């Protein structure tokens, strides 16, 4: 019997977990002390890195920029008229905003019900933070000759500023230093600077710079491709040669995607083995309830997406899973919705009868802007940190309705701003944290489990994009003249 591709991918994942567990048993990179890994360990990890992230994800990333350009131009130019582009455009955006908001709301309910920051494992972290706080208060008093607290027992403003300076400078372990630097850099910017720097400027960039950037500037490519497609439609027959070139480029990119899908089981096995070898199961001990809140929220949101697909899209759960499973598994393991985009387009158009006219336009947009899993995760993570550290001298935050509302809005925005690459949500989370005055140096505590959560939020992001394409396709089917 010939196995289907998704079965091969599952076999690859299973083998990856087995190899990863064995490697982790031989050497745990996070364990203090020890004699270091045996000589062959480095070679095995090098090979896993070569065949997983380097070659496979590298090849997927190689085709994203030309694929986004070609698919949007050919999507726009294949539409009967500009009114149709407007109809698909606003329906797609309305779907994205609605489902992302639902995702954040589900996350907030999950974290407020489960209260992961108040569970026994978290209490140990909280006690350690309180002991550290007492030490900081003493050091401040010794150094300045002034008390850290005012006569009412509230922390003095000067002391809090000093404390934040101390903690921000302390940094975290080397392994996470790069991520912490990115977070600290992001926190220094005002919302106005973030809007101009992350949204307006990227939109209006020289297209060759956008295509050549690493990772590619997807917003800039989308804006340019839309303009190009609209102008081609406007010019009609005179622009026909250009339209044909982009249609052919799109087909060629999809052909390369199929070749990459064929080798994906081996590559995915390597990615999983490497991740399990590096992480191991122990990281979940103090963060288990936090992971449960994120994953529980994601599970509920997946049910919502499946229901939307069945009711508005006319695609039932079984057909949806059979149609999208390869993209879902690739998203789960590559942790990048951009890298998965070619496979998402292939799956929806070939297995679920989504018209390329819709998929070519809405899926690149979705991979860039529509991140339900990321939005849900950002809300849960910030509330978890407030539950854990709220009330400490430098975290004077109460979970009021206003705080919850601010987290809701900023989580939606931060997910739109997140790049579709691994761990991006962790960095844009600083937008949410800053809005409620949670210092960014508390974010590293959740770094350890981020890779695992990123797997599930990315696969949810991709599922959300696919369901969006299914729904918009059904709503527009008649006008597109599709059966």
Q: What are phi and psi of 149, to 5 degrees?
A: -110, 150
Which of these ranges, 85-93, 341-349, 420-428, 431-439, lies near ligand ASP under the rule CB under 6 A? 420-428
Q: Are 323 and 347 in contact (CB under 8 A)?
A: yes
The upper half-sphere exposure of residue 370, i.e. CA atoms within 13 Å in the direction of its Cβ, equals: 27
Closest CB 335 distance from ligand ASP, rounded Å? 5
Q: Which of 326, 372, 454, 465 is close enough to bind ligand ASP by CB under 6 A?
A: 454
Query: Residue 389's Cα: distance from chain center in Å?
Result: 25
DSSP state for residue 55 in the 8-state scheme: I
Ramachandran region of residue 389, left (φ > 0), alpha (ψ -120 to 50) or beta?
A: alpha
**How many whole angstroms separate alpha carbon 458 and alpha carbon 377?**
10
Closest CB 59 distance from ligand ASP, rounded Å? 17
- Site mask, ligand ASP, residues 95-134, x = CB under 6 A? ----------------------------------------
Query: Residue 182's Cα: distance from chain center in Å?
Result: 16
Q: Give the residue from 359, 350, 340 showing the smallest Cα distance to 467.
A: 359
Please enumerate in sequence order all residues whose Cβ is within 8 A of that of 150, keeping only pairs 6 or more positions apart, or say none.
156
420: contact with ligand ASP by CB under 6 A: yes
Cβ proximity to ligand ASP, 44 vs 331, nearer residue: 331
Closest CB 463 distance from ligand ASP, rounded Å? 11
Which of these ranges, 28-36, 83-91, 358-366, 452-460, lies near ligand ASP under the rule CB under 6 A? 452-460
Which of these ranges, 157-165, 212-220, 271-279, 416-424, lies near ligand ASP under the rule CB under 6 A? 416-424
460: contact with ligand ASP by CB under 6 A: no
Q: Which of 449, 461, 468, 469 is close enough to bind ligand ASP by CB under 6 A?
A: 461
User: Helix or strand or coil: residue 155?
Assistant: strand
Closest CB 60 distance from ligand ASP, rounded Å? 12
Which of these ranges, 105-113, 255-263, 399-407, 415-423, lies near ligand ASP under the rule CB under 6 A? 415-423
* Gyration radius from the chain CA atoms: 24
Which of these ranges, 8-16, 237-245, 399-407, 414-422, lies near ligand ASP under the rule CB under 6 A? 414-422
**How many whole angstroms separate alpha carbon 191 and alpha carbon 250?**
37
**How many whole angstroms separate alpha carbon 331 and alpha carbon 415?**
17
374: contact with ligand ASP by CB under 6 A: yes
Give exposure, 72-87, as e/b (b: 16+ Cβ within 10 Å). bbbbbbbbeeeebbeb
418: contact with ligand ASP by CB under 6 A: yes
Cβ proximity to ligand ASP, 329 vs 395, nearer residue: 329
Residue 193, judged by CB atoms within 10 A of its CB (0-12, 13-18, 19+), counts as exposed
Which of these ranges, 70-78, 264-272, 286-294, 418-426, lies near ligand ASP under the rule CB under 6 A? 418-426
Closest CB 381 distance from ligand ASP, rounded Å? 11
457: contact with ligand ASP by CB under 6 A: yes
Q: How many residues bind ligand ASP (CB under 6 A)?
A: 16
Closest CB 340 distance from ligand ASP, rounded Å? 8
Residue 470, judged by CB atoms within 10 A of its CB (0-12, 13-18, 19+), counts as buried
Cβ proximity to ligand ASP, 365 vs 420, nearer residue: 420
Q: Which of 91, 335, 357, 474 is close enough to bind ligand ASP by CB under 6 A?
A: 335
Which of these ranges, 198-206, 221-229, 250-258, 331-339, lies near ligand ASP under the rule CB under 6 A? 331-339
Closest CB 95 distance from ligand ASP, rounded Å? 17
Q: Which two tokens stand for residue 270?
A: 């390597």
* Dihedral sign, Cα of residue 338, residue 339, residue 340, residue 346: positive
Cβ proximity to ligand ASP, 77 vs 374, nearer residue: 374
Give exposure, 32-52, as e/b (b: 16+ Cβ within 10 Å). eeeeebeeeeeebbeebeebb
423: contact with ligand ASP by CB under 6 A: yes
Residue with CB nearest ligand ASP? 425
Cis-peptide, bond into residue 215, ω within 30° of zero: yes
Q: What are phi and psi of 393, to 5 degrees?
A: -55, -35
Cβ proximity to ligand ASP, 315 vs 371, nearer residue: 371
Q: Which of 217, 336, 368, 410 is close enough to bind ligand ASP by CB under 6 A?
A: 336
Closest CB 73 distance from ligand ASP, rounded Å? 23
Q: What are phi and psi of 204, to 5 degrees?
A: -110, 50
Closest CB 177 distance from ligand ASP, rounded Å? 19
61: contact with ligand ASP by CB under 6 A: no
Name the residue with tokens 């999507």: 75
Q: Give the residue from 279, 292, 272 showing the smallest Cα distance to 447.
A: 279
Which residues between 290 and 309 bind ligand ASP (CB under 6 A)? none
Which of these ranges, 184-192, 210-218, 250-258, 423-431, lies near ligand ASP under the rule CB under 6 A? 423-431
Cis-peptide, bond into residue 154, ω within 30° of zero: no
List contacts with ligand ASP (CB under 6 A).
Answer: 335-337, 371, 374, 418, 420-425, 454, 457-458, 461
């Amino acid at each position: 019997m010939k196995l289907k591709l998704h079965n091969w991918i599952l076999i690859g994942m299973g083998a990856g977990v087995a190899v990863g567990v064995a490697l982790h048993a031989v050497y745990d990179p996070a364990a203090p002390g020890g004699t270091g890994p045996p000589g062959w360990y480095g070679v095995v990890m090098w090979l896993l890195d070569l065949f997983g992230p380097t070659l496979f994800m590298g090849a997927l990333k190689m085709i994203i920029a030309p694929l986004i350009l070609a698919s949007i131009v050919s999507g726009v130019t294949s539409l009967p008229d500009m009114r149709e582009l407007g109809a698909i455009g606003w329906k797609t955006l309305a779907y994205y905003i609605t489902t992302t908001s639902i995702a954040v709301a589900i996350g907030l309910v999950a974290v407020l019900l489960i209260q992961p920051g108040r569970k026994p494992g978290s209490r140990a972290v909280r006690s350690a933070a309180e002991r550290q706080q007492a030490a900081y208060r003493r050091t401040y008093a010794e150094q300045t000759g002034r008390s850290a607290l005012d006569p009412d027992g509230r922390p003095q403003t000067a002391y809090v500023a000093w404390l934040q300076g101390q903690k921000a400078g302390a940094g975290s372990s080397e392994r996470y230093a790069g991520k912490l630097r990115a977070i600290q850099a992001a926190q220094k910017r005002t919302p106005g600077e973030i809007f101009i720097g992350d949204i307006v400027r990227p939109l209006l960039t020289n297209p060759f710079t956008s295509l050549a950037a690493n990772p590619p500037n997807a917003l800039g490519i989308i804006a340019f491709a839309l303009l190009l497609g609209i102008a081609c439609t406007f010019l009609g027959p005179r622009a026909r040669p250009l339209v044909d070139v982009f249609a052919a480029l799109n087909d060629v990119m999809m052909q390369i995607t199929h070749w990459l899908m064929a080798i994906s089981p081996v590559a995915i096995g390597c990615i999983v083995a490497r991740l399990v070898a590096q992480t191991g199961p122990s990281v979940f001990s103090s963060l288990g309830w936090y992971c449960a809140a994120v994953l529980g929220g994601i599970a509920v949101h997946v049910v919502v997406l499946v229901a939307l697909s069945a009711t508005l899209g006319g695609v039932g759960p079984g057909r949806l899973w059979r149609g999208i499973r390869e993209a879902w598994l690739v998203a789960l393991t590559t942790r990048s919705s951009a890298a998965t985009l070619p496979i998402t387009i292939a799956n929806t158009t070939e297995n679920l009868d989504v018209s390329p006219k819709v998929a070519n336009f809405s899926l690149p947009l979705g991979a860039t802007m529509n991140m339900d899993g990321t939005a849900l995760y950002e809300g849960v993570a910030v509330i978890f940190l407030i539950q854990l550290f709220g009330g400490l001298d430098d975290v004077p935050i109460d979970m009021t309705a206003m705080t919850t509302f601010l987290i809701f809005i900023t989580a939606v925005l931060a997910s739109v701003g997140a790049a579709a690459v691994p761990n991006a949500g962790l960095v844009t989370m600083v937008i949410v944290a800053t809005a409620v005055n949670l210092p960014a140096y508390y974010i590293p505590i959740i770094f350890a489990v981020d890779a695992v959560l990123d797997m599930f939020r990315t696969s949810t992001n991709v599922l959300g994009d696919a369901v969006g394409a299914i729904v918009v396709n059904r709503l527009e089917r008649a006008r597109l003249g599709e059966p």
